[in-house]
Structure 1
């Protein structure tokens, strides 16, 4: 069975799309029209009842949630060394970094357009939007100063954490944050764009 990967333009699914392209594994990309609400269609909800992307259909079942997908994809192609699978501490550091992006940075970003997840009043939505730039800046300041080793997230070895960071960093401008105030991250983003797998994934996202 060929795996099928569901994603949407401008979403966190780009991280897993990059990881899949890095492995060279055969898969079928399926882009949903998020603006039209295709992620909430009965057909897609039968695949992922959360109504979100990404979702990866495998011969063993369906996987969702970016941190889980990234590790799974890395394990499918261990020869690519997209995760330090043989080093328990380094692997935990990878998981720690990805968990921070998932639970803190993505949530800070989501308050710009997804305020209805946390409140009902328009005044509350405005307050949330007003906090996004500051909160995201604080997150990336911590990443730049304490979490990013360089030249890649974990140091010399490129990993799926880099695909994740690149994806989330791509939201900075829309959140009102200039990536150039984080020199290491800005340099990282430029180097990521030069990777063939990243270029192919971005092209698939924007096709």
Structure 2
């Protein structure tokens, strides 16, 4: 397997899951500042120009949730067998993909939604408010103790960890969110996260 990633992006959630699963993988780092994601070579890998992408035996998988589901299929302990619990974990991932990640993207990718620069600035200014609202939802509705499903780590926790790592940079004060702070501490203590940081894949 080969993981195409960029430092600090949601693609690191896949790297964490791969480490948790004990699966061997190679990596290819993209430099977003240099525009690697828009290069003709990468367009052959993922024409959407985004990360992550995971190459598996010549097949390219894209979209974070789908790739995490694939990893969990190789390591079933990463997603509960109970269908209700599995749905709970996936519901958090879908919320992150459809709402919280989009809120974050408004800070630096306003051109996806509007043409005028004044609109981009307005979207950027809104990010602390929308991300704080998302953090409140995560605090109230997603986390238990300390993970999404009590003390059971799942692929959804890897996803949530990366999204929550963006909160301080998005102007969110974490003081009112004790569950998120405990979750981030628990994640930071995991060997998978320590390994990814040692590799320089995340700050």
Measured in 1, the distance between the counterparts of 2:115 and 2:175 equals: 35
Cα RMSD, aligned residues only: 1.3
**Counterpart contact for 2:12–2:202, Cα < 8 Å:** no
1:34 matched residue in structure 2: 32
Stretches of structure 1 lacking an aligned partner (at least 5 in a row): none
| TM-score, length-scaled by structure 2 | 0.96
Measured in 2, the distance between the counterparts of 1:136 and 1:200 equals: 28
Q: Given the alignment, which residue of 3, 6, 9 partners 1:8?
A: 6
Measured in 2, the distance between the counterparts of 1:95 and 1:87 equals: 12
Q: How does 1:99-138 map to 2 (within 5 A)?
A: 99-138=94-133
Q: How does 1:1-207 map to 2 (within 5 A)?
A: 3-59=1-57, 61-78=59-76, 81-84=77-80, 86-204=81-199, 205-206=201-202
Aligned length: 202
Measured in 1, the distance between the counterparts of 2:105 and 2:40 equals: 24
Moved over 6 A (4+): none
**Counterpart contact for 1:14–1:202, Cα < 8 Å:** no
> For structure 1, which segment, 110-119 or 36-45, has the greater mean C-alpha deviation from structure 2 after superposition?
36-45
CA deviation profile, 1:85-132 (whole Å, cap 9, x unmatched): x21111111111100001100000000000000001111111101110
Measured in 2, the distance between the counterparts of 1:99 and 1:147 equals: 12
**Counterpart contact for 2:36–2:42, Cα < 8 Å:** yes
Measured in 2, the distance between the counterparts of 1:33 and 1:27 equals: 19
Stretches of structure 2 lacking an aligned partner (at least 5 in a row): none
Measured in 2, the distance between the counterparts of 1:171 and 1:151 equals: 19
